[in-house]
Amino acid sequence: MNAPLNPKKLIKGGLHDWEVVIGMEIHAQVTSRSKLFSGASTAFGGEPNAHVSLVDAAMPGMLPVINAECVAQAVRTGLGLKAKINLRSVFDRKNYFYPDLPQGYQISQYKDPIVGEGEVLVDLPEGESITVGIERLHLEQDAGKSLHDQAPNQSFVDLNRSGVALMEIVSRPDLRSSEEAKAYVTKLRTILRYLGTCDGDMEKGNLRADVNVSVRRPGEPLGTRCEIKNVNSIRFIGQAIETEARRQIAIIEDGGTIVQETRLFDPGKGETRSMRSKEEAHDYRYFPDPDLLPLEFDQAFVDGLAAGLPELPDAKKARFVADFGLSPYDAGVLVAERASADFYEAVAKGRDGKAAANWVINELFGRLNKEGLSIDESPVSADQLGAIIDLIGEGTISGKIAKDLFEIVWTEGGDPRAVVEARGMKQVTDTGAIEAAVDQIIAQNPDKVAQAKEKPTLLGWFVGQTMKATGGKANPAAVNALLKAKLGIE
């Protein structure tokens, strides 16, 4: 499934080169109004325990009822991962005691998940792409939150998150570097956001990763893995993998062995720390939840959801390359966010696709990044940007003037065409006016004229002078043609 071993991906140890092997479990909060098994709201940021139903608080005699929208979201996600959708799946109880786990068990899916095997195509920066296998996706309840900093001798519990639906997406150990891991999470996040099944907001903890890391000498069997729990940013995922891989390499090269355990990444100290070893691992006593019947639906339900899926990033990228003549790289940049891709398409519609891509990627994204704005917050609309590109295409303004125009529209707004009219930014195409300017410059610079006959590159100097003289509004093609003729340059 993977490309042949790339020596650049290996990590140099003191003695050998090492290959790092990574698999991921991503916990993605399902976008839904209410929780997986109760009607309580999933809204973020409420007062502690404001969004807690009797079911979420595990009051005696309360029973879970599956939220159909969460099921639909899991199926949509499965379809987006090109995965097998299981028409019958089972909810199990994962039993353990914790104060923010009111039932004393988490309802999860153990043996029979709702989604089976799938795959994600991941593009890497150098143009390479890899396919990462998805082992499964299952639905489960989130836990609440323990607050240890509210009182000296007590901990408080906030159950607002208790029972919120999560999708756990388990990858195969197909990743071979921290770069690949980061690219995988980024791509998965893009797919989830396209589907609208998870907002991917890692700051709010709506997407978090458990990262399984092991190292081996190339060609050898898999090493013992450690699981780094709950890493909550893409940057930290990269750092955690690098740190953990180097820790393992150092141990093995020192003659030690890796102990299978769960570890935590401390970004402040740049280290991973042991949380619990395999021996201390909980015995979760999984068994089918007798309060819930097996989850069953028919193929027509799946087909209906499939029909309603949006175009996904891979398909969109391929279409942008085919229809707009974009490079795969540019297409990849544009489809990374659905909103960006939509913006681009609105700009490119009926126009030159490459020109539109250049403007969107270089001017617009550049400016947005500088200001820290998202595409939805762009002060320049797709219509406005399209109008600027039209003005260039018609020859009404030059590319240089267009950048000024973009700046005006960005800061002041307005219809670009009207701005060009009002501010006299129109390009001069009247050859007479340009000729007058050219003649003047030739007359004033006889030495340069003489040199130009020997050294045709001096043409650029004459062009610059002419543009300056015309306030940048002269049509550069006309200027070029006139100068060449008058200076006798072929």
Partner 1 sequence: MSELNELSLAEARDGLKAKRFSARELTQAHITAVERARALNAYILETPERALAMADASDAKIAAGAARPLEGLPLGIKDLFCTEGTKTTAGSKILENFTPHYESAVSANLWRDGAVMLGKLNLDEFAMGSSNETSAYGNVISPWRRTVDRVVSDAPIVPGGSSGGSAAAVAAHLCLGATATDTGGSIRQPAAFTGTVGIKPTYGRCSRWGTVAFASSLDQAGPIARTVRDCAILLGSMSGSDARDTTCADLPVPDFEAAVTRGVKGLTIGIPKEYRVDGMPAEIQRLWDQGAAWLKDAGATIKEISLPHTQYALPAYYIVAPAEASSNLARYDGVRYGLRVPANDIVGLYEKTRAAGFGREVKRRIMIGTYVLSAGYYDAYYVRAQKIRTLIKRDFEAAYAAGVDAILTPATPSAAFGIGEKASADPVEMYLNDVFTVTVNMAGLPGISVPAGLDAQGLPLGLQLIGRPFDEETLFAASQVIEDAAGRVSLPKPWWA
- 423 to 482, contacts with partner 1 by CB under 8 A? none
Cα dihedral 474/476/482/488 (nearest 10):
140
Contact 32, 165 (CB under 8 A): yes
Residue 336 CA from chain centroid, whole number: 6
The one-character DSSP state at 378 is -
Interacting residue with partner 1 among 6, 41, 48, 66 (CB under 8 A) = 66
Least distance (Å) between residue 57 CB and partner 1: 6
Least distance (Å) between residue 278 CB and partner 1: 12
Which one, 149 or 377, has the nearer CB to partner 1? 149
The one-character DSSP state at 259 is P
The verdict on 297 binding partner 1 (CB under 8 A) reads no
Which one, 71 or 169, has the nearer CB to partner 1? 71
- 187 to 226, contacts with partner 1 by CB under 8 A? none
Q: In this chain, which stretch among 92-100, 166-174, 391-399, 476-484 interacts with partner 1, using CB under 8 A?
A: 92-100
Determine whether 269 is exposed, middle or buried from the number of CB atoms within 10 Å of its CB (0-12, 13-18, 19+).
Answer: exposed
Interacting residue with partner 1 among 72, 157, 249, 341 (CB under 8 A) = 157
Q: Quick one: which of 350, 383, 377, 347 has its CA closest to 362?
A: 347
The verdict on 58 binding partner 1 (CB under 8 A) reads yes
Least distance (Å) between residue 170 CB and partner 1: 20
Q: In this chain, which stretch among 95-103, 212-220, 362-370, 434-442 interacts with partner 1, using CB under 8 A?
A: 95-103
The one-character DSSP state at 364 is I
Least distance (Å) between residue 25 CB and partner 1: 20
Which one, 54 or 361, has the nearer CB to partner 1? 54
What are the C-alpha distances in Å from 479 to residues 431, 451, 461, 483?
Answer: 8, 19, 12, 6
Contact 174, 65 (CB under 8 A): no
Per rule CB under 8 A, count of chain residues that contact partner 1: 30
Contact 285, 108 (CB under 8 A): no
Identify the helix (H) or strand (E) that includes residue 363.
Answer: none
Least distance (Å) between residue 271 CB and partner 1: 27
Which one, 67 or 470, has the nearer CB to partner 1? 67
Q: In this chain, which stretch among 185-193, 267-275, 291-299, 313-321 interacts with partner 1, using CB under 8 A?
A: 291-299
Structure tokens at 15: 């003695």
Rounded Cα distance, 200 and 208, in Å: 9
Rounded Cα distance, 29 and 10, in Å: 34
Interacting residue with partner 1 among 4, 7, 14, 61 (CB under 8 A) = 61
Strands of the 287-288 sheet, one edge to the other: 105-108, 92-95, 287-288
Least distance (Å) between residue 227 CB and partner 1: 18
Non-local (6+) Cβ contacts of 332 within 8 A are 123, 317
Which one, 276 or 349, has the nearer CB to partner 1? 276
The verdict on 306 binding partner 1 (CB under 8 A) reads no
Structure tokens at 273: 């720390």
The verdict on 50 binding partner 1 (CB under 8 A) reads no
Q: Quick one: which of 447, 432, 487 has its CA closest to 463?
A: 487
Q: In this chain, which stretch among 54-62, 204-212, 225-233, 456-464 interacts with partner 1, using CB under 8 A?
A: 54-62
Interacting residue with partner 1 among 13, 25, 44, 62 (CB under 8 A) = 62
Contact 63, 55 (CB under 8 A): yes
The DSSP code sequence of 325-342 is ---HHHHHHHHTSHHHHH
Interacting residue with partner 1 among 25, 227, 291, 390 (CB under 8 A) = 291
Contact 21, 6 (CB under 8 A): no
Which one, 106 or 190, has the nearer CB to partner 1? 106
Which one, 64 or 313, has the nearer CB to partner 1? 64
- 261 to 290, contacts with partner 1 by CB under 8 A? 283, 285-287, 289-290
- 97 to 156, contacts with partner 1 by CB under 8 A? 97, 99, 102-105, 155
Least distance (Å) between residue 293 CB and partner 1: 6
Least distance (Å) between residue 70 CB and partner 1: 14
Neighbours of 140 (CB within 10 A): 21
Rounded Cα distance, 205 and 146, in Å: 15
Structure tokens at 489: 């340059």
Rounded Cα distance, 485 and 477, in Å: 12
Interacting residue with partner 1 among 65, 250, 339, 436 (CB under 8 A) = 65
Interacting residue with partner 1 among 10, 11, 46, 54 (CB under 8 A) = 54
Interacting residue with partner 1 among 124, 251, 258, 292 (CB under 8 A) = 292
User: Which stretches of the chain bind partner 1, using CB under 8 A?
Assistant: 54, 57-66, 93, 95, 97, 99, 102-105, 155, 157, 283, 285-287, 289-293
